[in-house]
Structure 1
Amino acid sequence: MSTRLVLVGCGHMGHAMLAGWIASGKIAAHEIIVVEPNEVLRNRAAALGCTVAPDAGTLPQDLAPDIIVIAVKPQAIEEVLAHYTRFGNGKTAFVSIAAGTGVATFEKILGDKTPIIRCMPNIPAAIGKGMMVVFATDRVTETARAFVADLLSASGEVATIDDEKLMDAVTAVSGSGPGYVFHFIEALTAAARAAGLPDKTAARLALQTIYGSAVMAVESGEEPGVLRQKVTSYKGTTAAGLDVLMGENGLTRLLTETVEAARKRSIELGS
């Protein structure tokens, strides 16, 4: 069977998505070529059953994949894309998961008739619980859109936006968001220790409380604000804690500033 997809870069996110695609049966390993210069990472892709290549120059001359997924760091995008110009201005759609790198950069290098899809995944995609947000140009066919959406669904939830400018906000919220949550777990653990709990108990309580609350928020179908009110009795312990967390300089303000800082950095990476 012919190659349907070329994955360029097989680091943490690239490998996580690749493993999910294959495990879910969305695409067969023999339909994929992985281009990865790092031998260790390349061998990891080969272990999944994919054909591997060290660089673009070793790809077959008659190769005409449906999709080329670019999974490299934003700083390396232009250098990497320069090796794939022969696939531009044709039927092959390029999918980028690089933060901050706009469609204009791809079109400048590959040609303005190239179908481009931008996708912002997040690290929970590694366990099939990710959030993938997609923007596609008008040149992307419905067939390509459906194929990419189906692939991405193996890694979690998929949402679509029509305005590319919103990708910086998406990056700041769901792309970087797991980092914020992981730090919240750290902070709650530290607070539990400060309250006198043993280290292991503090870590267990913080982690399971956040995990259980997140699952409940997803599965209950109720708004988070409603759930918060249900667990907050009048003048009780939760209310006392929330008086601090929801104060003038509380969590909402802090997270708003956090997301804005990440959004601005996403814009800088794309400039």
Structure 2
Amino acid sequence: MLNNGTLLLVGCGKMGGAMLQGWLDRGLKGSQVSIIDPSAQADYMRPFAEQGVRAVETLTDLGNSFHPDYVLFAVKPQMIEGAIADYQSYAKHGAVFLSVIAGKTISFFEEHLGAETAIVRTMPNTPAAVSRGMTVLYGNQNVSKEQASVCEELMAAVGEIAWLDSEDQIDAVTGVSGSGPAYIFYLSECLAQAGVDAGLSKELARKLADTTVSGAGELLRLSDDSPSQLRINVTSPNGTTQAALEVLMADDGLQPVMSKAVAAAARRSEELS
């Protein structure tokens, strides 16, 4: 993945930890990875340390002689504001910077790290925690093909990846896949409540809804059929499913509501950027 290069992971929370585990599972040597995280000495970090990963609490703990080949920021937006300038020395030594920070554009990093710095902005989503994530990437003009290939491998450790043609597309991506898991979770909530309204107990309704949503998702992942075809496959003419779909597919049904939701998320993403 990195050959003999080194990687600095800034932030080892749920997303950072999922990526790190994915890298180690794919054969990356722990000795190639260093972590900066305030919880570096916490018990949950011990398995990483046992695999050779170096974990420290602050940047200064790494020492002046440390110069990573790749730096991946996996912290909350407010945490990078006052700290980004501290990484300029790594940029001067040719490090490639990846970011999974929502709302922070390529220009933000170029402004603080230098216009010649190689920067890749990514947008993963929370299923990355179970290696079923969807991550899009966009790199500036300083990223070489070789560097882009490494970045691709790093993000593929937690799911599927795709490159964007324009950074502007990230707002729409945020509306679809970035925020998308929440829509699916809410769908399961609504389906369970509909079961309760139809006379089922809360426990049974939730089990039916959650299992149906997760099972349908797995069928979609494994099937060669399109979502439309899978829908057709389960819909008998004049049957129960058709009766329900006539409601969901009406002019005021699910599609216009979903389009409005994605547009709202995209607008908010643009505002945050």
Shorter-chain TM-score above 0.5: yes
CA distance in 2, matches of 1:254, 1:74: 29
Give the corresponding residue for 2:26. Answer: 24
* Structure 1 residue 200, shift from structure 2 partner: 2.3
Does 1:241 pair with 2:269?
no
CA contact (8 A) 1:22 1:28 kept: yes
CA distance in 1, matches of 2:244, 2:215: 19
CA contact (8 A) 1:189 1:203 kept: yes
* Structure 1 residue 2, shift from structure 2 partner: 7.2
- Where do 1:179-218 residues align within 5 Å? 179-218=182-221
Moved over 4 A (4+): none
* Structure 1 residue 43, shift from structure 2 partner: 4.8
Give the corresponding residue for 1:87. Answer: 90
* Structure 1 residue 46, shift from structure 2 partner: 4.2
* Structure 1 residue 33, shift from structure 2 partner: 0.8
CA distance in 1, matches of 2:46, 2:86: 22
CA contact (8 A) 1:20 1:155 kept: yes
Give the corresponding residue for 1:171. Answer: 174
Deviations 1:146-199 (A, max 9, x none): 112112222111111121110111112111111111111111111111111222
* Structure 1 residue 39, shift from structure 2 partner: 5.1
CA contact (8 A) 1:115 1:138 kept: yes
CA contact (8 A) 1:232 1:238 kept: yes
Deviations 1:207-261 (A, max 9, x none): 1211222222222211111221222222211111111111222111111111111
Give the corresponding residue for 1:47. Answer: 47
Give the corresponding residue for 1:135. Answer: 138
* Structure 1 residue 97, shift from structure 2 partner: 0.2
CA contact (8 A) 2:9 2:72 kept: yes
The AA in structure 2 aligned to 1:5 is: L
Deviations 1:46-68 (A, max 9, x none): 43122111111222212221110
15, 28, 32: which one aligns with 2:17: 15
CA contact (8 A) 1:20 1:126 kept: no
* Structure 1 residue 89, shift from structure 2 partner: 4.2
Deviations 1:65-101 (A, max 9, x none): 1110001112333222122111124420100001121
CA contact (8 A) 2:71 2:96 kept: yes
CA distance in 2, matches of 1:32, 1:44: 17
- Where do 1:146-161 residues align within 5 Å? 146-161=149-164
CA contact (8 A) 1:89 1:115 kept: no
CA distance in 1, matches of 2:25, 2:93: 30
Task: Name the SS for the 1:48 alignment partner.
Answer: helix
- Where do 1:247-262 residues align within 5 Å? 247-262=250-265
The AA in structure 2 aligned to 1:22 is: L
Give the corresponding residue for 2:7. Answer: 5
The AA in structure 1 aligned to 2:48 is: L
CA contact (8 A) 1:73 1:98 kept: yes
CA distance in 2, matches of 1:250, 1:80: 46
CA contact (8 A) 2:40 2:56 kept: no
For structure 1, which segment, 191-200 or 181-190, has the greater mean C-alpha deviation from structure 2 after superposition? 191-200
CA contact (8 A) 2:67 2:93 kept: no
CA distance in 2, matches of 1:101, 1:135: 12
CA distance in 1, matches of 2:74, 2:68: 16
CA distance in 1, matches of 2:38, 2:75: 11
CA distance in 1, matches of 2:66, 2:46: 19
CA distance in 1, matches of 2:43, 2:31: 15
The AA in structure 2 aligned to 1:20 is: G
* TM-score between both structures, scaled by the size of structure 2: 0.92
Task: Name the SS for the 1:72 alignment partner.
Answer: coil
Give the corresponding residue for 2:112. Answer: 109
Residue ranges of structure 2 left out of the alignment (5+ in a row): none
| Identity in percent | 38
Aligned residues: 268
